[in-house]
Structure 1
Amino acid sequence: MSEAQELLKNLNSNDLAEKKKSIFKIGDLKVKEAIPTLIQLLETDSDSVVRNSAARALGKIADPDQFDTILEALDKALEDPDSYVKANACWSLGKLKDKRAIPSLMKMVDPNQRSYAMVGDPKAQSNTKENEASAKLKEEGIKFSDIIVSAIKAIGNIKDPAGVPALIKGLEDEADGDVRCASAIALGKIGDGSAVLPLIERLKMDKYWYVRRDVAKALAKLKDPRAGPELAKKTNDMYDEVREHSVKALLAIGKPVSNILFKLYLADPKNLKLKKFVTTQLTRDEILQILENLVKNEKNESKRKIYQNYLDKIETQT
Structure 2
Amino acid sequence: MYDEDDFSDLDLEAELESPLDKLEPIDAESETAKPNPDEMLALLSAPETQQRMLATRAFCELEDERAIPQLIRLLADACPLVRVSAAYALGRNPSVDAVEPLITQLHQDWNGYVRKGVVWALGNCRDRRSLPPLTEALKTDISAVRLWAASALAQMVNVGYEAMIGAIPSLIEGARRDPIAAVRSNCAWAIGEICRELPSNVIYASAIDALLEAFAEDEEMGVREDARAALLKVGDPRGLQLIEEIEREYWT
Whether TM-score is above 0.5 comes out as yes
Change beyond 3 A, Cα 1:170–1:228 = same
- Give 1:147's aligned residue: 145
Alignment partners' CA distance in 2, 1:86 and 1:231: 37
Q: In structure 1, the residue corresponding to 2:177 is in which secondary structure?
A: coil
C-alpha distance in 1 between matches for 2:245 and 2:181: 21
* Distance across 1 between alignment mates of 2:248 and 2:111: 44
Identity %: 30
Q: Does the 8 Å CA contact 2:59/2:92 hold for their aligned counterparts? A: no
- For 1:228 and 1:4, the matched residues in 2 are separated by 50
Matched length: 203
Q: Which residue does 2:168 correspond to in 1?
A: 164
Are residues 1:74 and 2:102 paired?
Answer: yes
Task: Give the RMSD, CA atoms, in angstroms.
Answer: 2.0
Question: Quick one: which of 185, 209, 213 aligns to 2:189?
Answer: 185
Paired residues of 1:78 and 1:89 also in contact (CA < 8 A): yes
What is the TM-score with the length of structure 1 in the denominator? Answer: 0.60
Contact 1:171 1:184 in 2 (8 A): yes
2:89 aligns to what?
57
1:99 aligned onto 2:128 = yes
Long gaps (5+) in structure 2? 1-34, 158-163, 199-203
| Bigger mean CA offset, 222-231 vs 211-220 | 222-231
Q: Do the aligned partners of residues 237 and 151 (structure 1) sit closer, same or farther apart at CA in structure 2, a change above 3 Å counting?
A: farther
Say if 1:74 and 1:216 are closer, same or farther in 2 by CA, change over 3 A: same
Q: Does the 8 A contact of 2:174 with 2:184 survive in 1? A: yes
Q: Tell me which residue corresponds to 2:36.
A: 3
* Aligned partner of 2:217 among 177, 195, 205: 205
Distance, in Å, in 1 between the alignment partners of 2:229 and 2:112 is 29
TM-score (ref. length: structure 2): 0.75
* Offset of residue 14 of structure 1: 2.9
Whole-angstrom distance in 2 between the partners of 1:99 and 1:105: 10
Residue matched to 2:234: 222
Cα distance, 1:84–1:214 mapped onto 2, change above 3 Å: same
Matched, 1:175 2:140: no
Contact kept in structure 2, 1:177 and 1:211, CA below 8 Å: yes
Gaps of 5+ in 1: 115-144, 244-266, 268-318
Higher relative contact order (CA 8 A, sep 6+): 2
Q: How is 1:245-256 mapped onto 2 (pairs within 5 angstroms)?
A: none
After superposition, the Cα gap between the structure-2 partners of 1:233 and 1:25, relative to the gap in structure 1 and judged at 3 Å, is same
Question: 1: distance between equivalents of 2:48 and 2:129?
Answer: 36
Report if the CA contact (8 A) 1:173-1:179 is conserved: no
Q: Which position in structure 2 is the counterpart of 1:196?
A: 208
Partner Cα separation in structure 2 for residue 31 and residue 237 of structure 1? 55
